[in-house]
């Protein structure tokens, strides 16, 4: 099934170029390939970790991560992500929620971003920790990082500068993904967890390579708006395929 690593590579390339991990689309691709739905969040969250760990380290070394505020969001979301990972869910419900999440995430990417360079935060910015908990739960339940929903909210409320938001999103995805993975391991046990990772090495290699190239594209080649539109198109397509299979 050679198209699957290629799909993971392209997904990681596009998502990393706009500061995300790609977990939602990894799950969709695995579902379309016929994988056991119980395995999807485990593989997707592992791929998330592989992509955003490098981003989080780069942002941290560059000194752009607002550590205190970012860790507050992650600390609120992580227990909810753990709970989401532990929550039993039927296949039809899982695929429906995943499809809706993908379509919603794609549409969120198309929203215009508020200018954050010189404008003060809006009054709603202080309530972002309240949004973090449901995003964390959704992340653990469906195998996404939650950052693709968090970032538009942070931009809309002018929570911080664009670079600080990207750094916060990467850290949010990383911590949520680790918490969600732990919840999935508790729910399914070591046997299913090991089965999910067996044979996933080519996919993990694909996302690491795609993530690195995506970062370079964002810095040197394509405009950020074009990358967001391409990512949105891929995300909406994958969600639509899950909601209305042919």
At 56 the pLDDT is 87
pTM, rounded to two decimals: 0.87
Residue 177 belongs to what H/E stretch? helix 162-197
Tell me if 155 sits within 8 A of 29, measured CB to CB. Answer: no
Residue 70 — very low, low, confident or very high, per pLDDT cuts 50/70/90? very high
Q: Is the pLDDT of residue 117 over 60?
A: no
At 193 the pLDDT is 80
Q: Is the pLDDT of residue 55 over 90?
A: no
186-220 pLDDT per residue, tens: 988 878 888 888 878 899 999 999 888 877 766 56
Higher pLDDT, 155 or 173: 173
Q: Is the pLDDT of residue 47 over 60?
A: yes
Name every residue whose Cβ is closer than 8 Å to that of residue 245 and which is 6 or more positions away in sequence. Answer: none
At 213 the pLDDT is 84
Per-residue tokens: 73:
């969001």
Dist CA 131 CA 229 (whole Å): 25
Domain that holds residue 150: 3-243
Instruction: Give residue 106's region: left, alpha or beta (phi > 0; psi -120 to 50).
Output: alpha
Dist CA 66 CA 35 (whole Å): 38
At 134 the pLDDT is 93
At 219 the pLDDT is 55
At 133 the pLDDT is 93
Residue 123 belongs to what H/E stretch? none
Structurally, the chain folds into a number of domains equal to 1
At 36 the pLDDT is 86
At 66 the pLDDT is 94
Q: What is the length of the chain?
A: 246
CA triplet 8, 10, 15: central angle to 5 degrees? Answer: 90
At 72 the pLDDT is 96
Mean per-residue pLDDT for 1-29? 85
Residue 144 belongs to what H/E stretch? none
At 101 the pLDDT is 85
Mean per-residue pLDDT for 145-155? 86
Question: To the nearest whole percent, how much of the chain has pLDDT over 90?
Answer: 29
At 16 the pLDDT is 82
At 234 the pLDDT is 85
Q: What is each CA distance from 25 to 14, 20, 95, 129, 205, in whole angstroms?
A: 11, 11, 12, 25, 16
Dist CA 53 CA 60 (whole Å): 11
Higher pLDDT, 231 or 246: 231
**CA-wise closest residue to 73 among 182, 169, 183:** 169
238 three-state secondary structure: helix
160-172 pLDDT per residue, tens: 888 888 889 989 9
**CA-wise closest residue to 168 among 66, 39, 40:** 66
Q: pLDDT averaged over the chain?
A: 86
Of the listed ranges 19-23, 62-66, 76-80, 128-132, the one predicted with least confidence? 19-23
């Amino acid at each position: 099934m050679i198209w699957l690593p290629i799909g993971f590579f392209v997904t990681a390339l596009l998502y990393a170029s706009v500061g995300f991990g790609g977990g939602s689309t990894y799950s969709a691709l695995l579902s379309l390939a016929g994988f056991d739905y119980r395995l999807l969040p485990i593989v997707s969250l592992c791929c998330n970790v592989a992509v955003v760990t490098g981003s989080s380290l780069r942002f941290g070394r560059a000194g752009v991560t607002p550590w205190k505020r970012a860790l507050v969001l992650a600390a609120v979301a992580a227990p909810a992500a753990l709970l989401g990972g532990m929550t039993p869910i039927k296949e039809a419900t899982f695929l429906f929620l995943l499809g809706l999440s993908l379509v919603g995430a794609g549409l969120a990417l198309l929203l215009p971003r508020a200018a954050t360079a010189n404008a003060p935060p809006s009054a709603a910015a202080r309530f972002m920790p309240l949004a973090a908990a449901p995003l964390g739960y959704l992340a653990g339940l469906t195998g996404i990082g939650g950052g693709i929903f968090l970032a538009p909210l942070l931009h809309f409320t002018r929570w911080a500068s664009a670079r600080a938001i990207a750094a916060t999103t990467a850290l949010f995805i990383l911590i949520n993904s680790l918490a969600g993975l732990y919840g999935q391991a508790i729910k399914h046990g070591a046997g299913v967890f090991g089965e999910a990772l067996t044979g996933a090495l080519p996919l993990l290699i694909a996302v690491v390579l795609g993530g690195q190239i995506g970062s370079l594209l964002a810095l040197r080649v394509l405009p950020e708006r074009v990358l967001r539109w391409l990512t949105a198109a891929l995300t909406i397509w994958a969600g639509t395929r899950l909601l209305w299979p042919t």
